[in-house]
């Protein structure tokens, strides 16, 4: 399905934030990962020099914040050099990590290179649950040791907890653990069904009771931890009445770069057929930002009548294009989460079926097997 052609539009204001997926390699195998099913192999990853050039271009374009992500960014041996390059470019740097692959010594090097902030993922509050979800034995214990090292260094820490059917009941304990680890903020994000998470949706789908409980626990915890721990909560949007303003609107404030240098308007955009994602190898970031993939669903002119005539158009911009693709099979449709969407009944039926059934086993995230040499 091709994105509709549009008349020329005025240049878009620059982005504020950039997510750099340095690698898709990761020791963990979380089934809720938002990375695409087709993961990039090490050989195809951008070099240190190319990333450094991209960071300079980003700063020149107007980007202020750089989020270093993956996969597990610590799987890159040049992570310290990359952080240094980003800081030299003048970017605020945030490392999004599982902590596996970082040692106290490497952490100190990152600190010295100018790392501004760490976002540490939490798969669960107990080793058995966390290691099962992450598919990595001993991961929880190593993460706790690393959190101690982060606290000792005084690096600002946010805990990032992706919640779903298997850990939502432990929400109060997640707040308590984040406070104990010295985090200033916890982001409780109910799983967004993209990439591997979409593949594992039936296993991860929370029940309606869990969702209601989570909302009540968040309100309680915000009062309890006021002044000590900031709490961000991303509710599961399948259960909402209106869609989220995904990426604050397509191509409005942020861009993502995948490990091989393709620049995407959001992390899941590759599921949308017909879009031409330019690579940093062939274009400058400034060209890409005004290019066809970013203009495809920018603004509100392209929206279906249902959205354009809606009083919420300036709030949610029609919702998430990747979700419209995943549920409705049409990236140009109103997000099926919206109560006004003709596809909402499909989403309700899906929630009902998945929450009534027993959760299937996880299909863990995995890298593609090396290609066999079949010659001879």
Residues that bind ligand FES (CB under 6 A): 194, 246-247, 250, 266, 268-269, 320-322
Q: Smallest distance, Å, CB 297 to ligand FES?
A: 8
Beta strands 185-190 and 157-163 are parallel
Whole-number Å distance between alpha carbons of 280 and 231: 36
Whole-number Å distance between alpha carbons of 63 and 17: 5
Beta-carbon contacts of residue 154 (< 8 Å; ≥ 6 apart): none
Question: Whose structure tokens read 């939502």?
Answer: 168
The alpha carbon of residue 153 and the mean position of all alpha carbons in its chain are separated, in whole angstroms, by 26
Is 26 within any annotated ligand binding site? yes
Is 310 within any annotated ligand binding site? no
Question: Whose structure tokens read 């290609």?
Answer: 371
Q: Which is nearer to ligand FES, 174 or 334 (CB)?
A: 334
Q: Smallest distance, Å, CB 319 to ligand FES?
A: 8
* Cα–Cα nearest to 323, from 264, 374, 272, 280: 272
Is 322 within any annotated ligand binding site? no
Q: Which is nearer to ligand FES, 174 or 258 (CB)?
A: 258
Q: Smallest distance, Å, CB 192 to ligand FES?
A: 7
Whole-number Å distance between alpha carbons of 249 and 46: 28
Q: Smallest distance, Å, CB 194 to ligand FES?
A: 5
Q: Which is nearer to ligand FES, 162 or 269 (CB)?
A: 269
Q: Which is nearer to ligand FES, 37 or 176 (CB)?
A: 37
Q: Which is nearer to ligand FES, 94 or 194 (CB)?
A: 194
On whether the CB atoms of residues 82 and 76 are closer than 8 A, the answer is: yes
On whether the CB atoms of residues 189 and 161 are closer than 8 A, the answer is: yes
Q: Smallest distance, Å, CB 343 to ligand FES?
A: 15
Going by the annotation, the residues of the binding site for [4Fe-4S] cluster are: 26, 30, 33
Going by the annotation, the residues of the binding site are: 26, 30, 33
């Amino acid at each position: 399905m091709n994105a509709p052609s549009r008349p020329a539009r005025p240049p878009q204001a620059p982005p504020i934030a950039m997510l750099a997926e340095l690698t898709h390699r990761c020791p963990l195998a979380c089934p809720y990962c938002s990375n695409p099913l087709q993961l990039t192999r090490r050989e195809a990853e951008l070099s240190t020099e190319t990333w450094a050039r991209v960071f300079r271009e980003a700063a020149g374009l107007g980007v202020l914040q750089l989020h270093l992500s993956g996969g597990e960014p610590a799987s890159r041996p040049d992570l310290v050099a990359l952080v240094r390059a980003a800081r030299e470019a003048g970017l605020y740097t945030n490392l999004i990590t599982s902590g596996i692959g970082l040692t106290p010594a490497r952490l100190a090097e990152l600190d010295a290179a100018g790392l501004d902030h760490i976002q540490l993922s939490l798969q669960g509050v107990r080793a058995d649950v966390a290691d099962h979800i992450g598919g990595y034995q001993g991961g929880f214990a190593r993460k706790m040791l690393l959190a101690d090292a982060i606290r000792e260094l005084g690096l600002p820490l946010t805990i990032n907890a992706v919640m779903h059917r298997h850990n939502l009941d432990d929400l109060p304990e997640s707040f308590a653990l984040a406070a104990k680890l010295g985090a200033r903020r916890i982001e409780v994000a109910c799983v967004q069904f993209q990439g591997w998470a979409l593949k594992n949706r039936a296993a991860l789908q929370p029940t309606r009771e869990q969702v209601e409980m989570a909302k009540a626990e968040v309100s309680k915890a915000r009062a309890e931890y006021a002044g000590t721990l900031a709490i961000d909560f991303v509710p599961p949007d399948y259960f909402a009445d209106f869609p989220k303003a995904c990426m604050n609107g397509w191509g409005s404030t942020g861009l993502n770069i995948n490990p091989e240098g393709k620049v995407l308007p959001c992390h899941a955009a590759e599921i949308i057929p017909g879009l031409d994602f330019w690579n940093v190898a062939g274009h400058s970031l400034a060209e890409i930002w005004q290019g066809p993939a970013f203009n495809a669903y920018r603004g509100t002119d392209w929206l279906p009548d249902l959205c354009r005539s809606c009083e919420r158009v300036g709030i949610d911009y029609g919702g998430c294009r990747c979700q419209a693709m995943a549920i409705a099979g049409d990236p140009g449709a109103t997000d099926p989460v919206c109560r006004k969407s003709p596809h909402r009944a499909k989403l309700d039926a899906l929630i009902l079926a998945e929450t009534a059934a027993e959760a299937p086993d996880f299909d863990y995230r995995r890298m593609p097997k090396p290609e066999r040499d079949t010659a001879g």
